[in-house]
Amino acid sequence: MEERLQETRALRLIVSAWLPEQESLIRHFAGRADVEFLLTGIGPLRAAAAVAHRLARGDVAQVLFVGTAGAYDGQACPLLSAWGVSSARFTDGAAALGCSYFPATKDASPFEEWVAESVESEKRRVICVCPPSITRDETTAVALAKFGELENLEIAAVATACAVTKVPWQAFLGVSNAVGPNAHEEWKAYHAEASRAAQAMAQAMAQALAQAAIPGGGS
């Protein structure tokens, strides 16, 4: 039964929180029957529910998340640069500051982690920290920066849905702002360009995979 289900998985699902993060890719993949787009809405709960609902059909072979992110270190991850995600860590400011923790079988942890599907080029890959809300406080941002380079709300939720349904995932992010008190104003000014940078990286990766079989979809 499981083998037959794997054979029917042929779709690549491109996921974003809102439309500007997909527009270039929608134009690029227009008319492709093997590519589908999903908008989840902003935030981890909406993302988890939307992706889990779609993956329950059993026909998705791979999920690509495309979006924007804040950078904890603007020198390491400059404004408008694009990055692939090696893993997503769900946490919050309280856990990062040592005021709370995630229960585990053996040891308490300050985060929960999901690892992305491996890709050939590892040079542009970062760990994404995924709190439930955007960080504005500088002290909290410094604490969260110990866990990763970028901040995005949805990726860990998307990765959770993928883990439950055993669908591999990748994520591509454009840096739209520095994490901190000016994040929202910077995001409003740069999110469009950052979205295009992330989409360009995702498009290049999709083209590189075009000659190979989609995971679980056969050759």
Over residues 191-208, mean pLDDT:
92
- Degrees to nearest 5, angle at CA 159 with 51 and 141: 115
- CATH of region 2-209: 3.40.50.1580
Checking if the pLDDT of 209 tops 70, the result is: no
Q: What is the pLDDT, as a whole number, of residue 109? A: 81
Q: How far apart are CA 120 and CA 171, in angstroms?
A: 14
Helix, strand, coil shares of the chain as percentages rounded to 5? 35, 25, 40
Q: What is the pTM of this model?
A: 0.89
Q: Are 13 and 54 in contact (CB under 8 A)?
A: yes
25-52, pLDDT tens digit by residue?
999 999 999 999 999 999 999 999 999 9
Q: What is the pLDDT, as a whole number, of residue 205? A: 84
Mean pLDDT, the chain, rounded, equals: 89
DSSP per position, 150-162: EE-SSHHHHHHHH
**Could you tell me the pLDDT band of residue 210, with boundaries at 50, 70 and 90?**
low
Q: Are 53 and 132 in contact (CB under 8 A)?
A: no
Checking if the pLDDT of 99 tops 50, the result is: yes
- Domains of the chain, residue spans: 2-209
Q: Are 115 and 163 in contact (CB under 8 A)?
A: no
Q: What percent of the chain has pLDDT over 90?
A: 79
Q: What is the pLDDT, as a whole number, of residue 10? A: 74
107-155, pLDDT tens digit by residue?
778 889 999 987 655 568 999 999 999 999 999 999 999 999 999 999 9
Backbone angles phi, psi at 112, to 5 degrees: -115, 140
